[in-house]
Amino acid sequence: MDAKQAGIAVTIIGGYLGSGKTTLLNHLLQHADGARLAIMVNDFGDLAIDAALIESQQGDVINLSGGCVCCSYGDDLSLSLQKLVSQEIKPDHVIIEASGVALPGAIGRSLSLQRAYRLEGIVVVADASTVQANASEKYIGDTVSRQLYDADLLVLNKLDLLPTAEVESLKQWLAEQSRYASIIEAVHCSVPSSLLFNMSLVNVPDSWPDSWPDKRPDKRHDTRLAMPADSLVGIEPNNHDVSVYVSLSIKPSFAMNAHALAEQLAHKRLALIRAKGFVRDTNNQLKTIQVVGRRWSVTDAPEGAQPGMVCIAQKNDMTEHAIKALFSADAAISI
C-alpha cells in the first residue's frame, strides 16, 4: 500500500442491490462542495441528476455544471476509466459504484493496474434491515459476505428500520464479517461527503493549538474538517441523526516512520473512519498519509505541504488518547 506516485483518488462503493449505494451517490453529488467528482455507475438508473445541471451528454458521459461528471460504464469499467483520464480536465476524485453483485475488492485490484488512479478506499453499504438475511440467502449469500469482507469502511444504512436493541449485535456481526472495518451509521445514506472524498479540500491551519479543547458534541454548526480541534462535522439536517462525527487535528512535532504510523492509524482499535495528513518521515521527507477505515497509503507529499494530521471517527468511537499517543515523543521513537 505504498505508492510513489499519487494518482487520482478513487473510492469504490459496493454493496448488494437495494442497500443504498445510489442514495449515497446522490447524496455525494448534492454535496460535492466544489470538488470535481467523476461518478462511475453501471447504469444511470436511479442516479438523481438534476436536469438543470446537465451541461452536455455524450453517450455514456454526462457533464454537470460545477465540474462533476457521471459515466455509465456498462461492462467495461477499465475502458471508461481510461477515457476519463485522457480528458483534458481531470477529476479530483473518482467514485465507482460497483454493481449489486460485483466484488468491490476485485474492482480495487484491477484499479491497481491503472497507474493514473489510486484506490483510496472501499466503502460497502449495508442495509441494516436486510444485510443479515441477505448474507444467508441461498443464491447471493456468499456474494454479500464477500462484499462485506472487502470493505475498508462500512456504511450501515437504514438504521431507522432497525429496533435500537438490535443495533449493537448487528454491528458486532458486521465487524466480524468485514474484518473489523470501521462503521459509519447512517439513515438515508446521508453521510458527510467529507468522510468519503473531499478531505483534500481541507486547509490544514498554520497554527495549531497547544492544548486539545473538550469535545463539543452538541454544538452543531457547519464547520470544516480542519477545525484545529475536535469538532462536529458535516451534520446533515435530517430527523434521524443517529450519529455525529468528530475530528481530531494533530500537528506532529517529530519525524516518524510514516508507514508504521499509517498502519497504526488504520488499526481497528482506533475505529477511525478517515485520516489524512502530512508527516515528516524518518528520512526527513514529507509524506502524505491517507487512511480510509482499514486501508492506508503513504505517498510523497505535495509541494508546500506542512506537517499536520486530521483524524475522523464517530463521536462514540473516538479514541482521542490512543491517537494522540501515536504522535507522542515516545511513539515517535518506538515506531
Partner 1 sequence: MTTIYSARKIITMNPARPYVTHVAVHDGRILGAGSLKELEGFGTYSLDERFANKILMPGMVEGHSHAVEGKWWRYVYCGYHDRMDPHGKVWSGLTSIDEVIARLQEKDATLDNSTEALTGWAIDPIYYDNRKINRFDLDRVSTTRAIGVMHASGHIMNVNTKALELADYLRQGIEHDGVPLGDDGLPTGELKGPDVMFPVGQQAGFDDNMLEFDEPGLIDFARLCVRTGVTTATDLAAELNDDTVDMGNRITGADDFPVRIMSLRFHHGVTPEELITHTKALAKKSTDRFRLGKIKVIADGSIQGFSARLNWPGYYNGAPNGLWYIAPQQMLSIYEMALEAGIQVHTHTNGDEATDLVLDTLEAALKKHPCSHHRFTIQHGQMINAAQYRRMAKLNMCVNHFANHHFYWGDEHYRLTVGPERAERMNACRTALDNNIPMAIHSDAPVTPLSPLFTAWCAVNRLTHSGRTQGEHEKISIEEALYAITLGAAYTLNMDNEIGSIECGKQADFAVLEEDPTTVSAMALKDIKVWGTVQAGRVFAASNI
Residues that bind partner 1 (CB under 8 A): 16-18, 42-46, 59, 72-79, 82, 99-101, 103, 106-107, 109-110, 112-115, 139-140, 142-143
Taking a C-beta distance cutoff of 8 angstroms, is the pair 73, 40 a contact? yes
Residue 329's nearest CA partner among 256, 277, 262 is 256
Question: Counting runs of H as helices and runs of E as strands, what totals does the chain give?
Answer: 10, 15
For partner 1, the closer of residues 83 and 224 by Cβ is: 83
Query: Can you tell me the distance from the alpha carbon of 300 to that of 283, in angstroms, rounded to the nearest whole number?
Result: 12
Q: Minimum Å distance from CB 130 to partner 1? A: 11
Query: What contacts 132, CB < 8 A, 6 or more positions away?
Result: 170, 173
Q: Minimum Å distance from CB 101 to partner 1? A: 4
Residue 293's nearest CA partner among 258, 259, 262 is 262
For partner 1, the closer of residues 40 and 195 by Cβ is: 40
Q: Minimum Å distance from CB 43 to partner 1? A: 5
Taking a C-beta distance cutoff of 8 angstroms, is the pair 251, 193 a contact? no
Helix (H, G, I), strand (E, B) or coil at 242: coil
Q: Minimum Å distance from CB 14 to partner 1? A: 13
Strand intervals (E) in the chain: 8-14, 37-41, 54-58, 61-64, 69-72, 93-97, 117-127, 153-157, 182-185, 231-233, 245-250, 274-280, 286-292, 295-300, 308-314
Helix (H, G, I), strand (E, B) or coil at 207: coil
Q: Minimum Å distance from CB 289 to partner 1? A: 19
For partner 1, the closer of residues 35 and 77 by Cβ is: 77
Q: Minimum Å distance from CB 143 to partner 1? A: 6
For partner 1, the closer of residues 233 and 292 by Cβ is: 292
Query: Can you tell me the distance from the alpha carbon of 256 to that of 207, in angstroms, rounded to the nearest whole number?
Result: 20
For partner 1, the closer of residues 56 and 78 by Cβ is: 78
Q: Minimum Å distance from CB 284 to partner 1? A: 24
For partner 1, the closer of residues 76 and 166 by Cβ is: 76
For partner 1, the closer of residues 132 and 143 by Cβ is: 143
